[in-house]
């Protein structure tokens, strides 16, 4: 896992054609605030459900993970690393400090 500031996170993401953006916030947070474009959403608070859904993902891809402030996404990256995902990148400051594009969920 690597903790990255937004500038580095977005630069690496833009140069990576084997990447997935993963939003681990709650459904309520996603609906209220929107998502970073092209993100898939798996709520880390689902517990075993989160792990089950993560295990369905392709662990050969690079995962750019975020939450509201960076804490839950760091936990998600650690869990993913334990499950065999080699490349996970945590967005420091999370969605709260995000300065890029946002897609609203309707």
Model pLDDT for residues 21-51, shown as the tens digit of each residue: 999 999 999 999 999 999 999 999 999 999 9
Q: Across-strand partners of 22?
A: 40, 65
CB crowding 15-33: b at 16 or more within 10 Å, else e: eeeebbbbbbbbeebbeee
pLDDT tier at 105, thresholds 50, 70, 90: confident
Domain boundaries, the chain: 2-97
Chain centre to alpha carbon of residue 32? 17
For 4-19, what is the mean pLDDT?
A: 97
**Is 106's pLDDT higher than 80?**
no
Tell me which architecture the domain covering 2-97 has in CATH.
Answer: 3-Layer(aba) Sandwich (3.40)
Structure tokens at 28: 């309520």
Model pLDDT for residues 44-86, shown as the tens digit of each residue: 999 999 999 999 999 999 999 999 999 999 999 999 999 999 9
């Amino acid at each position: 896992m690597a903790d990255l500031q937004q500038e580095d996170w977005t630069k690496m993401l833009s140069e990576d054609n084997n990447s997935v953006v993963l939003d681990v916030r709650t459904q309520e947070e996603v609906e209220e605030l929107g998502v970073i474009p092209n993100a898939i959403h798996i709520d880390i608070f689902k517990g075993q459900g989160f792990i089950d859904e993560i295990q369905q993902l392709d662990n050969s891809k690079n995962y750019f993970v975020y939450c509201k402030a960076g804490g839950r996404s760091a936990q998600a990256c650690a869990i993913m690393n334990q499950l065999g995902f080699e490349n996970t990148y945590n967005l420091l400051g999370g969605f709260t400090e995000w300065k890029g594009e946002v897609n609203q969920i309707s």
